[in-house]
Structure 1
Amino acid sequence: MAKDTTGRLHVTVKSGGKRKLSSKLWLERQLNDPYVAQAKRDGYRSRAAYKLIEIDDKHHFLKHGITVVDLGAAPGGWSQIAAKRVNAVNGNGKVVAIDLLEMPEIAGVTFAQLDFLAGDAPAKLLELMGGRADVVLSDMAANTTGHRKTDQLRIIGLVETAAAFAADVLNPGGTFVAKVFQSGAEAELLAQLKRDFSSVRHVKPASSRQDSSERYVLAMGFRGQNSGSG
């Protein structure tokens, strides 16, 4: 165990037995990540909670009493923050979350284990929402194949589907936040978002790992259903 440049102890994981180098590096990164440690201390499900905290602290779209949809919610870091900030725990606001994986219960969050890409998912989500949404969050990431072009197409496909869903369900003035990678949202999607929303930008929270190509597209001020979608 050695100290890094900040004076924190740096944990080194021994590689041995069946542990692959990739899993060794992932485990080492987790053990030495200050946000992972902070999430445990603060009682958050994942370090991702801090990404949403940072984005909302700057842009203020999670307001008391609104309805939020969290796509790809597990393990629940974003849902926890959303529920707290819209006051869903007291029944004032509402948070509806879905994921392919199971997610343990979170106070103030209605969860359904659903594949967002399944044909009946949007209708089921609308039923859970009981009306329109004010914010659609998507921290979804496609399973990677290791083939860069294929992975990029999968990521784009997920973001495009999430954006189309947002355009169908958002109230005027609503917000859409989605994870994108590398250069950000593709030109065609970006053009569509700019037609649908009054403000579109890319953001990279400080809590996103600096060596990661992860970024988020933040679209605010939804113009309404007749804004040129479709």
Structure 2
Amino acid sequence: MEDLLGFASFGKRKRSSASRKQHTKAAKIEYVPEPIEVLCGKSMPCLSHDTLGTVLDSTAAEPPALLLLELAEALKSLLSAKQNLHDKRLSPAEYRVARALANPWESLGKWKFVNRSAMKMAELDARLNLTREFIADGHLSFVDLCGAPGGFSEYLAFRANYREVRGHGISLRVPGMSHLNWQLPPAVQDVVSVLYGADGTGDLYKQENIEHFVHSVLETHSSGVNLVVADGGFQDARNHENQEQVMHRLVLCEVLVMCRVLRSGGHFVCKTFELSSTFSLGLLWVLHHLFDELMIVKPVTSRPASSERYVVGRGWRLFQPHQVISHFSALHAAFDSSPPGAVVKSAELTKARAFLNFVQRSGIVYEGRASLARFLISLVRVV
């Protein structure tokens, strides 16, 4: 990662020998990345049209606790830690200081970018080689969903040195909340087209905006783009016990757009949360069957007290899988009346033991760390 950003060591900018000054050595945290578990799908037959018709289902919903017993216990501990922290009634200033103390990487900040999201993208790219092959081939194309103010796009343009790169972004435009708008510097604006859909709101809940955006992307990249990144979220969702459920529709919309604009062989990065609901498991199950490799990653640049983590798919196997697109579009429309409880039949999840174990292992690790971080935050009082 330091090589991508031009760092001599993680968190310290390279300087020429001529300008280097003598300083007392300060303690630093060594960046030791943990192994990332990869769930391989390339050895599995790609889901055919006929197969998909028998496994996709929006009604049957096995209680997730019955599928992931150990993860259910970890989530109980996390909710307890969250409630304990809430009961402490820390002031905003106290919470910010305590949160920083619980995060060894807080001082890394956002470096030269518009926000900290760029550093998360940099870390994911460094560890998972999401852009190298495309830049080496002479062109990086990407779609940035729900990405304002633009950290992901800013990093990707920087990574390609602002040459031979083309991005397309869409994000919700909220009247009176300019801090949520795109804030791309001129060099990035030259290579990233920002769109707001048919009605100018950027709202991906509206099908006409999805259609408008997809059409605009495919006009430029008829075979799809190399990379789709999605960093959507709700400011108040973090205060909900059902944060994951609040995000169901947004994540579905992001996955739906990805299915329509990602080229064969491309990669996908999507922010998610606990990944414990039947709906989330179903989405992951489909992605597992349509990517060569699937990973669940929490960058060190993501605060440990947050339940945030990223689903990363490498090697998209089928450009525009129409049966999946049709099913996801129907699920999307169903949210207007009655939110669907599932994506695939419960029987498919129940028998996918290797897949469930993969999800459960990552969840137990990340929920345990989040619980510990919240506990540490709750102990802090600022004098």
Interval containing the TM-score (normalised by the shorter chain): 0.7 to 0.9
> CA offsets per residue over residues 125-158 of structure 1, 9 Å max, x none?
2344222222110111134354423x32121221
1:180 paired residue number? 272
Which has the bigger relative contact order, CA under 8 A and spacing at least 6?
2
| Cα root mean square deviation, aligned | 2.7
**Using a 3 Å threshold, how does the CA distance of structure 1 residues 153 and 22 change in structure 2: closer, same or farther?**
farther
* Mapped pair 1:102 → 2:176: no
* Mapped pair 1:81 → 2:150: no
1:122 paired residue number? 210
Moved over 6 A (4+): 30-34
1:3 paired residue number? none
Classify the secondary structure of the residue corresponding to 1:120: helix
In the alignment, structure 1 segments of 5+ residues that lack a partner are 1-5, 8-19
How many residues end up aligned between the 2 structures?
A: 210
Are the counterparts in 1 of residues 114 and 183 from structure 2 also a CA contact under 8 Å? Answer: no
> CA offsets per residue over residues 55-111 of structure 1, 9 Å max, x none?
111111223212111112122211111112245x23x12111122132123322222
Are the counterparts in 1 of residues 259 and 321 from structure 2 also a CA contact under 8 Å? Answer: no
Give, in whole Å, the separation in 1 of the partners of 2:157 and 2:120: 15
Matches of residues 5-20 of structure 1 in structure 2 within 5 Å?
Answer: none
Are the counterparts in 2 of residues 184 and 202 from structure 1 also a CA contact under 8 Å? Answer: no
**Using a 3 Å threshold, how does the CA distance of structure 1 residues 82 and 22 change in structure 2: closer, same or farther?**
farther
Residue identity opposite 1:144 in structure 2: D
When you count helix as a share of all residues, which structure comes out higher?
A: 2
C-alpha displacement of 1:198: 1.3
Q: TM-score, normalised by structure 2?
A: 0.49
Residue identity opposite 2:118 in structure 1: A
Give, in whole Å, the separation in 2 of the partners of 1:172 and 1:55: 20
C-alpha displacement of 1:121: 2.0
Match of 2:130 among 35, 57, 61: 61
When you count strand as a share of all residues, which structure comes out higher?
A: 1
In the alignment, structure 2 segments of 5+ residues that lack a partner are 1-26, 29-88, 173-179, 197-201, 328-383
C-alpha displacement of 1:22: 5.0
Residue identity opposite 1:109 in structure 2: V
Larger radius of gyration: 2
Q: Percent identity?
A: 27
Residue identity opposite 1:161 in structure 2: C
* Mapped pair 1:205 → 2:284: no
**Using a 3 Å threshold, how does the CA distance of structure 1 residues 99 and 26 change in structure 2: closer, same or farther?**
farther
Give, in whole Å, the separation in 2 of the partners of 1:112 and 1:37: 33
